[in-house]
């Protein structure tokens, strides 16, 4: 039996850094997670590193340290217990049009990620910070970038172009990119495998519903439409993001409330969505509990969330030639049975008929609709695992 050396997966954000280590016992065994952890509040006096492995949970203060020190502490711990990783995979939010798949990182890739930073100013710079810090820590270890946008690069111009002056696209890259691509790729692939669909003739819609929410139509393994756009603000109602609004809203608010564009952007990204509508919380679990005890604003926030999602799923279906399955994933999609039921209730026109008992407790086959219904499935997403798989595949041949 060949032992697989571990793959380190890094998701580096502006003030936090998630990491996981994956390994498997043989070439034919799927990688399993050996360790996962989080460095958070980086750059503040409360900076802290927590991780969990088979020996339990551990915690280490980082006292004001930033990304580099956090990665050095993670590296020290890995070296002591697991040895040097075979390769390192990074989640990178924006790959623009330059990256349609995961790639081994070299200087040109670093320049490419940097060039996309203006499209994702909060996300790409910390990813680059993580890549460069790990290049210094492990100069011999190959690194791979896995992009949130890459899976959506198969969208046709009719689906990705906005109807705005053409120069905005050609000069500035203004178009729809889509995000959560790694999650959509994984769950759509799982649905095809679970339902034994024809790889060359299927239609799947995946709904990734976490704090950020997006849905994607997948035809024969390729993304053909998605709800997020130039930025992750477009589309569905999310925890604190509005999703679609009339673009005329900006001018109206600027005029009536004398808000700057930054203020409006901040309000649409951080004070809207479930939080804005309910005035209570961005957390779906809290809203479901509140709605159950008679909070009307929580109820209304849930109703808008479900109706918008159903309406978008209806739109996405128009880019498919057949609809075999709808997949729910993400914290809400995987856990909130009442949301799934309400969304499916809106979708009877597409042939959905929820099996309420299965929906309350999705079994091994993940199916939550009746036998004569279009299939709806609940499939837990595995973004980090996908990053580890891409990283192993691309670096094993090096």
- Residues annotated as catalytic (active site), given as ranges: 148
User: Which alpha helices (H) appear in the chain, and where do they start and end?
Assistant: 67-82, 107-115, 124-137, 157-160, 166-172, 181-194, 249-257, 261-270, 273-278, 284-292, 296-317, 330-335, 337-346, 356-360, 383-396
CB of 301 to ligand ADP, least distance (A): 11
Q: How far is the CB of 82 from ligand ADP (least distance, A)?
A: 25
How many CB atoms within 10 Å of residue 208?
Answer: 31
We find the least distance from the C-beta atom of residue 26 to ligand ADP, in angstroms, to be 31
Question: Interface residues with ligand ADP (CB under 6 A)?
Answer: 210-212, 239, 283-285, 288, 330-332, 335-336
Query: Under the phi-then-psi rule, with left for phi > 0, alpha for psi from -120 to 50, and beta for the rest, what region is 249?
Result: alpha
- Per-position DSSP letters for 350-385, written without gaps between them: GT--B-HHHHHS--TT-B-B-TTSPEEEE----HHH
Q: CB of residue 240 vs ligand ADP: minimum separation in angstroms?
A: 10
Task: Say which residues have a Cβ less than 8 Å from residue 294's Cβ, sequence separation at least 6.
Answer: none
Q: Are strands 203-209 and 213-219 parallel, antiparallel or unpaired?
A: antiparallel
DSSP code of residue 318: T
β-pair type (87-92, 7-12): parallel
Rounded to whole angstroms, the Cα distance separating 198 from 282 reads 39
Quote the least distance from Cβ 127 to ligand ADP, whole Å: 17
Q: Which residues have C-beta within 8 Å of that of residue 207, sequence separation ≥ 6?
A: 213, 214, 215, 309, 313, 326, 327, 328, 329, 330, 333, 343
- The nearer residue to ligand ADP, 25 or 122, going by C-beta atoms, is 122
Residue 216 in tokens: 């994607």
Helix (H, G, I), strand (E, B) or coil at 121: coil
d(CA 64, CA 339): 41
Please say which residue, 285 or 393, places its beta carbon nearer to ligand ADP: 285
Pick 33 or 283: Cβ nearer ligand ADP: 283
Nearer to ligand ADP, 125 or 380 (CB): 380
* Cβ at position 298, least distance to ligand ADP in Å: 12
With respect to ligand ADP, which residue has the nearer C-beta, 217 or 290? 290
Which is nearer to ligand ADP, 314 or 380 (by Cβ)? 380
Least distance between ligand ADP and beta carbon 292 (Å): 12
- In the bound state with ligand ADP, the residue whose beta carbon lies nearer, of 37 and 212, is 212
User: What whole-number distance in Å separates Cα of residue 127 and Cα of residue 125?
Assistant: 5
């Amino acid at each position: 039996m060949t032992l697989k050396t571990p793959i380190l997966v890094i998701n580096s954000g502006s003030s936090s850094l998630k990491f996981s280590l994956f390994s498997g016992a043989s070439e034919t065994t799927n990688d399993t997670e050996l360790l996962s952890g989080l460095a958070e509040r980086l750059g503040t006096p409360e900076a802290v590193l927590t991780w969990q492995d088979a020996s339990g949970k551990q915690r280490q203060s980082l006292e004001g340290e930033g990304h580099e020190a956090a990665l050095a502490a993670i590296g020290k711990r890995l070296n002591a217990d697991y040895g040097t990783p075979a390769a390192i995979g990074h989640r990178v939010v924006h790959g623009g049009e330059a990256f349609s798949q995961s790639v081994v990182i070299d200087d040109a890739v670093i320049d490419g990620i940097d060039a996309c930073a203006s499209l994702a100013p909060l996300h790409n710079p910390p990813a680059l910070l993580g890549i460069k810090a790990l290049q210094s820590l492990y100069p011999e270890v190959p690194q791979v970038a896995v992009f949130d946008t890459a899976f959506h690069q198969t969208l046709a111009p009719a689906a990705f172009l906005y109807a705005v002056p053409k120069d905005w696209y050609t000069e500035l890259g203004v178009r729809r990119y889509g995000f959560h691509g790694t999650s959509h790729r994984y769950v759509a692939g799982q649905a095809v495998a679970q339902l034994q669909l024809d790889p060359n003739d299927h239609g799947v819609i995946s709904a990734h519903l976490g704090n950020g929410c997006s849905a994607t139509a997948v035809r024969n393994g390729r993304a053909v439409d998605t709800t997020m756009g130039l930025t992750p603000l477009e589309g569905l109602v999310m925890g604190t993001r509005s999703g679609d609004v009339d673009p005329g809203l900006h001018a109206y608010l600027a005029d009536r409330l004398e808000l700057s564009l930054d203020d409006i952007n901040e309000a649409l990204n951080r004070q809207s969505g479930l939080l804005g509508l309910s005035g209570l919380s961005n957390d779906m679990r809290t809203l479901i509990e509140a709605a159950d005890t008679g909070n009307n604003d929580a109820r209304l926030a849930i109703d808008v969330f479900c109706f918008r999602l159903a309406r978008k799923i209806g739109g996405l279906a128009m880019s498919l030639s057949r609809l075999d399955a709808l997949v729910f994933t993400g914290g809400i999609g995987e856990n909130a049975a009442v949301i799934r039921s309400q969304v499916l209730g809106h979708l009877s026109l597409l042939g959905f008929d929820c099996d309420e008992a299965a929906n309350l407790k999705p079994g091994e086959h993940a199916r939550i609709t009746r036998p004569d219904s279009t299939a709806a499935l609940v499939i837990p997403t595995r973004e980090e695992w996908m990053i580890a798989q891409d990283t192993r595949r691309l670096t094993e041949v090096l």
